[in-house]
Amino acid sequence: MTLFLLVLFAALAFEYINGFHDTANAIATVVSTKVLTPRAAVLWAAFWNLVGALAGTAVAKTISGGLVDSSAVNMLTVFCALTGAIVWNIFTWWLGLPSSSSHALIGGLCGAAIATAQGNWGVLIWSTTDAKGAAVGLWPKVILPMFTSPLVGLLGGFLVMSLLTLALRKATPRFVNLFFGKAQLVSAGFMGYGHGRNDAQKTMGIIALALFTGTSQGVFKDLPEWASFLRVEKFGTIPMWVVVTCAITMAAGTAAGGYRIIRTMGHKMVKLQPVHGFAAETTAAVIIDGASHIGIPLSTTHIISTSIMGVGATKRLSAVKWGVVQRILWAWVLTVPVTAFLAYWLERILVAAGAGS
């Protein structure tokens, strides 16, 4: 039971860190275009993160039941997965790099599960189908979207901005700035909603996985009746108290801000105006919301970053500061292997020390 409480604390800490780490996903553009002050933008994003987090559990079910074999998961597995992800998130936040919290958690879960299974990679669910015939597993839900979604964001941002440029060719700059200054409030809210709907659900899934593991291993068998809400008998079930708790925690983390990453995404990659911010946010939000609907734990960081790049490229390729982009890409490439490595060795060390026994 003590280990479960540590898992719950680590999960909520991850969710809180995810909130301030990924705040920039929703508000970097609306801050850099001076449509909202940083404080107002953070509160706006926090509200829509909360709404989005309460809007479904498809992504949570993927995390809790579609990536690793449940037989290779115990409380220590979940704790090490979360710890690896938290360490990487704090490190990249300190550097001001918009890395993916989603991939950090997934990498940590895979590494910890392999450690629990004594190095057996077969515990990873690469590709299979569920009861409805839909594709599930790491390849269709994580790896393939990891490579395709940034390209979709890049091309989508370029296309949307190109169409807006064509449609507004006769409009005055004053009209464009005034109109899209207001429209960007909507697009930033939509982006915050998409971020909450996708990212908050990952922690819901990991807590549900811990609850199912604890129930199946008898961790909660001696608890009084009033604590029965902790027991989860069915794999992939997401209790409502988990949904609400994660939603509030992410909103609180978002409200805490994340100004290091805001500076990188909103100022260093490309100079933005309200119309560019609107195009980038709208593109990213549509992609993220679509992925959330079908249960893909997408990287909201990757999508908004590449959407900004695509929008910036419509000016000219040199408008994008590719040196900054290169640093971001390295963080993307390293996230899954580094967090898997951290979680794997943390579990090995803790098991050797007698933890979780």
Residue 321's pLDDT is: 63
- Write the DSSP assignment of 237-300 as a string of letters: ---HHHHHHHHHHHHHHHHH--HHHHHIIIIIS----HHHHHHHHHHHHHHHHHHHHTT----H
Residue 129's pLDDT is: 84
Residue 218's pLDDT is: 87
Confidence (pTM): 0.84
Which whole-number Å values give the CA distances from 104 to 88, 128, 183, 278, 345, in the listed order? 7, 23, 33, 28, 15
**What's the farthest any 2 CA atoms get from each other in the chain?**
72
pLDDT, averaged per 10 consecutive residues of the chain (357 residues), comes to: 90 87 69 78 85 88 85 92 93 78 91 95 90 85 88 93 94 92 90 88 90 88 85 84 92 73 53 86 93 87 84 76 66 88 96 76
How many other C-beta atoms are found inside a 10 Å radius of the C-beta of residue 167? Answer: 9
Residue 299's pLDDT is: 82
Residue indicated by tokens 């979207």: 145
Residues 6+ apart with CB under 8 A from 353: none
The b/e string for 277-297 (b: 16+ C-beta within 10 A; e otherwise) is bbbbbbbbbbbbbebbeebbb
Residues 6+ apart with CB under 8 A from 69: 113, 117, 122, 123, 124, 125
